[in-house]
A and B are shown apart, each in its own frame.
Chain A
Amino acid sequence: MKIKRFNTSQIVVHAVAAASILLLYFTGLPITFPSQLGWIPAALGGYGVTMTIHRIAAFCLIVSGIYFAVNYLLHSFFVSKSLTTKVFPKTKDIWDAVNDVMLLFRAPLAEKQIPKPEKYSWLQKFEFWSIFFEGGIFIITGIILWFPFQFMAILPKDYIATARIIHAGFAIISICGITFHTYVAHYNPERFAIDRVVFSGEMPEEEAKEKHPLWYEEIKGGEHV
Chain B
Amino acid sequence: MYKLHRYVGGLILAVIFLSFLLAVLGLRNTFITIGISLGLLLVVFNFIALFYGIATRGRD
List A residues at the B interface (Cβ < 8 Å): 2, 15, 18-19, 22, 25-26, 29, 33, 35-37, 168-169, 172, 175-176, 178-179, 181-183, 185-187, 189, 193-194, 196, 198-200, 202
B43 engages A36 (CB within 8 Å): no
B33 engages A36 (CB within 8 Å): yes
Enumerate chain B residues within 8 angstroms of A169, measured Cβ to Cβ: 24
Contacts A/B (CB < 8 Å), 6 sampled? A36-B33, A176-B17, A178-B39, A178-B46, A179-B13, A196-B53
Most chain B beta-carbon neighbours within 10 Å: one of A168, A187, A202: A187
A189 engages B1 (CB within 8 Å): yes
Chain B's nearest CB lies how many Å from the CB of A64?
A: 14
> Looking at the complex, which one of B2, B5, B36, B43 makes contact with A178 (CB distance below 8 Å)?
B43
B43 engages A33 (CB within 8 Å): no
B46 engages A175 (CB within 8 Å): no
Enumerate chain B residues within 8 angstroms of A183, measured Cβ to Cβ: 9
Interface size on B, residues (CB 8 A): 33
CA distance A172 to B33 in the complex (A): 15
- Known contacts A18-B50, A26-B47, A194-B52, then 14 further A-B pairs from the complex at CB < 8 Å, ordered by chain A residue: A19-B50, A29-B39, A29-B43, A172-B20, A178-B39, A178-B42, A178-B43, A179-B13, A179-B39, A179-B42, A186-B45, A196-B56, A196-B60, A200-B60
A37 engages B53 (CB within 8 Å): no
CA distance A179 to B36 in the complex (A): 12
CA distance A80 to B60 in the complex (A): 29
Mark out the residues of chain B between 7 and 56 whose CB falls within 8 Å of any chain A CB in the assembled complex.
9, 12-13, 16-17, 20-21, 23-24, 28, 32-33, 36-37, 39-40, 42-47, 49-50, 52-54, 56
A187-B5 contact given A175-B16, A182-B45, CB 8 Å threshold: yes
Chain B's nearest CB lies how many Å from the CB of A37?
A: 6
Enumerate chain A residues within 8 angstroms of B40, measured Cβ to Cβ: 25-26, 29, 37
Chain B's nearest CB lies how many Å from the CB of A71?
A: 20
CA distance A196 to B49 in the complex (A): 10
A199-B53 contact given A29-B39, A182-B45, CB 8 Å threshold: yes
A194-B49 contact given A37-B36, A37-B37, A172-B24, CB 8 Å threshold: yes
B43 engages A22 (CB within 8 Å): yes
Most chain B beta-carbon neighbours within 10 Å: one of A2, A182, A194: A182
B2 engages A189 (CB within 8 Å): yes
Chain B's nearest CB lies how many Å from the CB of A89?
A: 25
A33 engages B23 (CB within 8 Å): yes
